[in-house]
């Protein structure tokens, strides 16, 4: 698995109970933008996410959060993700 540790720079997000823990896409509120910095997922899921355009360096915007999932805009497309999948995407502020 690929793991990238990031510093804690999301001012609009509640503090993470684990100091200096990586931020994951599932923690972002609707309307926020970020840049994907890594994918922490099994190989098959990682390849699926890459095929959807969710790759490191790509900008994403959380369009809506509903129930157990969210919809993000990435590269001109909209992608619906369950929260467990979104948790595997590591992000950093800025788009």
HEC states along the chain? CCCCCCCCCCCCCCCCCCCCCCCEHHHCCCCCEEEEEEECCCHHHHHHHHHCCCCCCCEEEEEEEECCEEEEEECCEEEEEEHHHHHCEEEEECC
What is the distance between the alpha carbons of residues 35 and 22, in angstroms, rounded to a whole number? 13
- Residue 1 pLDDT more than 50? no
16-74 pLDDT, tens digit per residue, is: 444 444 599 999 999 999 999 999 999 999 999 999 999 999 999 999 999 899 999 99
Looking at per-residue confidence, does 60 or 93 come out higher? 60
For residues 39 and 86, give the distance between their C-alpha atoms in angstroms, rounded to a whole number.
10
Q: Tell me, what's the pLDDT at 95?
A: 63
Asked whether 18 and 75 are in contact (CB, 8 A), the reply is no
Question: Is the pTM here over 0.85, yes or no?
Answer: no
Task: Kindly calculate the radius of gyration of the chain based on its CA atoms and give it in whole angstroms.
Answer: 12
């Amino acid at each position: 698995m690929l793991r990238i540790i990031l510093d804690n720079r999301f001012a609009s997000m509640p503090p993470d109970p684990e100091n200096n823990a990586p931020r994951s896409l599932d923690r972002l509120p609707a309307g926020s933008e970020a840049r994907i910095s890594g994918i922490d997922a099994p190989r098959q899921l990682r390849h699926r996410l890459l095929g959807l355009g969710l790759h490191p360096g790509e900008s994403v915007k959380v369009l809506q959060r509903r129930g157990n999932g969210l919809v993000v805009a990435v590269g001109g497309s909209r992608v619906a993700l369950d929260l467990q999948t979104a948790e595997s995407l590591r992000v950093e502020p800025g788009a």
